[in-house]
Amino acid sequence: MTVTYSSKVANATFFSFHRLLLRWKGSIYKLLYREFILFVLLYTTLSLVYRLVLYDDQKRLFEKLSMYCDKYAEQIPVTFVLGFYVTLVVNRWWNQFVNLPWPDRLMFHISSCVKGKDEYGRLLRRTLVRYVNLTSLLIFRSVSTAVCKRFPTMEHVVEAGFMTPEERKVFENIRSPHLKYWIPVVWFSNLASKARQEGRIQDSIDLQNILNEMNLFRTWCATLFGYDWVGIPLVYTQVVTLAVYTFFFACLIGRQFLDPARKYAGHELDLYVPVFTLLQFFFYSGWLKVAEQLINPFGEDDDDFEANWIIDRNLQVSLLAVDEMHMNLPHMTKDMYWNDSEARPPYTLAAADYCIPSFLGSTTDMGDSRQRQQDPIFALRQESVIQRVFLLPLVSSRCW
**What is the pLDDT tens value at each position of the chain, 400 positions in all?**
577 766 666 667 777 677 777 777 878 888 889 999 999 999 999 999 999 999 899 999 999 999 999 889 888 889 999 999 999 999 999 999 999 999 999 999 999 999 998 999 999 999 999 999 999 999 999 999 999 999 999 999 999 999 999 999 999 999 999 999 999 999 999 999 999 999 999 999 999 999 999 999 999 999 999 999 999 999 999 999 999 999 999 999 999 998 888 888 888 888 888 999 999 999 999 999 989 989 999 988 878 899 999 999 999 999 999 999 888 888 999 999 998 888 888 889 888 888 888 888 878 777 555 555 555 554 445 444 444 433 334 334 444 4
pLDDT, position 388: 42
3-state secondary structure the chain: CCCCCHHHHCCCCCCCCHHHHHCCCCCHHHHHHHHHHHHHHHHHHHHHHHHHHCCHHHHHHHHHHHHHHHHHHCCCCHHHHHHHHHHHHHHHHHHHHHCCCCCHHHHHHHHHHECCCCHHHHHHHHHHHHHHHHHHHHHHHHHCHHHHHHCCCHHHHHHCCCCCHHHHHHHHHCCCCCCCCCHHHHHHHHHHHHHHHCCCECCHHHHHHHHHHHHHHHHHHHHHHHHHHCCCCHHHHHHHHHHHHHHHHHHHHHCCCCCHHHCCCCCCCCCCCCHHHHHHHHHHHHHHHHHHHHCCCCCCCCCCCCHHHHHHHHHHHHHHHHHHCCCCCCCCCCCCCCCCCCCCCCCCHHHHHHCCCCCCCCCCCCCCHHHHHHCHHHHHHHHHHHHHHHHHHHHCCCCC
